[in-house]
Amino acid sequence: MKKILVILIIISSTAFHRSANPNQPNADKNELLKMEKEFSDYVQQEGIAAGFAKYAAPDAVVNRNGNLISGRDKINEFYNQARSKKDKLSWTADFADVSASGDLGYTYGKYIYVAYDSAGNTKEYKGIFHTVWKRQKDGSWKFVYD
C-alpha cells in the first residue's frame, strides 16, 4: 500500500507541478509572444528563407496555397526557390496561448506580404496567420506548423 501511495504522490506532483505557479501560463504566453516577434524581426532583417529555416522545428510543416511542405530543409528550399529575394514579410501576433504542460502553444495575428515582380512593381497581400509552436528539449520554442 505504501508503494502505491508513493507512486500516486509522485505522479500527481509531476502532472501538476506547472499549475503550482499560477503566473506560469502568463509567463509562457509572454515568452511565446516574444519569440513570435523575434521571428518576425529576424525575417525582416535576414530574409524569409533564413527566418523560416532558423525558427522551424526539424519536422515542421508549412501550408502554402494548399501545399504542405514538410521538414526544415524542404521549407528552406521552398522559400529560396519560390520567392524573390526582394519580397518582404512582416507580422504581429495578436494572441498566444500555451498548454498547461507548457510544451505546446499557438499564436495568431495579422501579416503583410509584399511581392516584387521582375519589373520591380509590388503587390501587397494581407491576411491572418496561425502558428503552432513546440518547446524543444533545450527549452527553446520552434514552430511545428505555419
pLDDT the model gives residue 13 = 40
pLDDT the model gives residue 6 = 37
pLDDT the model gives residue 43 = 96
pLDDT the model gives residue 17 = 42
What is the C-alpha to C-alpha distance for residues 66 and 13, in angstroms, rounded to an integer? 43
What is the C-alpha to C-alpha distance for residues 54 and 46, in angstroms, rounded to an integer? 10
pLDDT the model gives residue 118 = 83
Cβ pair 25, 100 in contact under 8 A? yes
CATH, domain range 23-145: 3.10.450.50
Instruction: Report the phi/psi class of residue 16: left, alpha or beta, with left for phi > 0 and alpha for psi in -120 to 50.
Output: alpha
Cβ pair 39, 57 in contact under 8 A? no
What is the C-alpha to C-alpha distance for residues 86 and 36, in angstroms, rounded to an integer? 22
Residue by residue, pLDDT tens for the chain (146 residues) are 444 433 434 444 434 444 444 556 689 999 999 999 999 999 999 999 999 999 999 999 999 889 999 999 999 999 888 666 789 999 999 999 999 999 999 999 999 999 988 888 999 999 999 999 999 999 999 999 99
Question: What are the sequence ranges of the domains in the chain?
Answer: 23-145
The C-alpha cell of 30 is what? 509572454
pLDDT the model gives residue 59 = 96
Question: 0.85 exceeded by the pTM?
Answer: no
pLDDT the model gives residue 119 = 86
What is the C-alpha to C-alpha distance for residues 42 and 90, in angstroms, rounded to an integer? 10
Cβ pair 76, 53 in contact under 8 A? yes
The C-alpha cell of 146 is what? 505555419
